[in-house]
Amino acid sequence: MENLLSRELVVRAQHLIWIEASFLAIINITAISGNISVCYAVYGNQRLRSLANMFVVALAVSDILISVYCMPLSVAALIQGRWIFGTSVCRLQGFAMFTFSLASLNTMGVIAVSRYFCVVKPTRYIVLFRRQRIVMYTSVVWCMALIGSVPPLIFQTGGYTFQPGKAMCMYPFPTNIAYTAFIECVFVAAPFTLITFCCAKVFYTVSRSNRVFTQENNPEQLRANVEEAKVTKTLALVMASFSLCWLPICIIDYIDAARGEPTLPRQVYLTYGFLAYLSSTINPFIYGATNRRFRREYKTILKKISLICTCGHCSCGQKRTSDNPPDLAVTEL
């Protein structure tokens, strides 16, 4: 089946080559610019430097790494119709993609836990989620990601290889069922279960508190609770979008592992690759749509870029004008 997928990648029509490569290139550019904007917004706005946004920055960093180290190689593979970078770079891309994806997923789990303690058990939140502890939690998340992604580097068979259907180098899950089961249970099923439980408890607590504060006619507490609900909804949207991207990926991996080899059409595996990369792109749009401060910082960034481009264009225009001999008609005027 791999040979068939490889042949289909090579013999694509010219318009398909450009459609697929252009679409992934747009995702790549959007992911880089969007997540850098998130980091810049948090850095530039004092009010955005909250404990919760430390996790947001950690998530943006993992997405930036995916868009820098992984996506361009897949764009090139779609253009060329094959892998052209050699075995070492293939292993590097597979390792990087696996590590950064596991880090993102486990960061989502930690975010869900932090919201649970912030809303459901606020007295414990103050103790458990100080700035130094958040740095420690983020470090643990990355160490866990390495535990999951390093083994394929030392496997004698079934290491990171180019998968033509997905246009990326990845670990072939059907080759080692025990390791696949370990990854799916510890790094996928556990975080998704934790996220679902925490979000359910948080929304239940917020809705109940809204009813209580409304009945008690306590506008200050109600306003604070509404702000907390907005933050929770933003993070819930991030988690929901991430889940919508990765659940189909997990289902495809389950099917391949059960059948022992890739058996699905190439379009399914191409969608697999696009969804994996798309999950690194959508978070900045969610922050902008749901958070007024992020939206304001995005506008500031766009104005600065526009100003730089305009000034650069004017400077180039002035240089070209000064280099050319003066026009007599203009001189007379």
Pairing of strands 168-170, 161-163: antiparallel
Element (H, E) at 55: helix 51-69
d(CA 328, CA 63): 56
Q: What distances in angstroms separate CA 206 from CA 119, 162, 222, 225, one per listed residue?
A: 7, 46, 10, 7
Q: Which residues pair with 161 in a beta bridge?
A: 170
Report pLDDT for 327: 44
Segment 230-250, tens digit of pLDDT: 777 777 788 788 888 888 988
d(CA 292, CA 163): 41
Is the Cβ–Cβ distance between 268 and 8 less than 8 Å? no
Per-residue pLDDT of the chain in tens (333 residues, 90 and over written 9)? 667 777 888 888 899 999 999 999 999 999 999 999 999 999 888 888 888 889 999 999 999 999 999 999 999 999 999 999 999 999 999 999 999 999 998 998 898 898 888 888 888 988 899 999 999 999 999 999 999 999 988 887 768 999 998 999 998 887 888 888 888 888 888 888 888 888 888 888 877 766 655 555 555 555 555 666 677 777 778 878 888 888 898 888 888 888 888 888 889 999 999 999 999 999 899 888 888 888 888 988 888 888 888 876 655 555 544 454 444 343 333
Q: Give SS3 for 331.
A: helix
d(CA 297, CA 205): 31
Q: How far is CA 116 from the centre of its chain?
A: 22
d(CA 149, CA 160): 10
d(CA 5, CA 86): 19
Number of H helices, E strands in the chain: 15, 2
Report pLDDT for 211: 60
Segment 69-106, tens digit of pLDDT: 999 999 999 999 999 999 999 999 999 999 999 999 89
Is the Cβ–Cβ distance between 31 and 277 less than 8 Å? yes
Its pTM stands at: 0.85
φ, ψ dihedrals at 113, nearest 5°: -65, -40
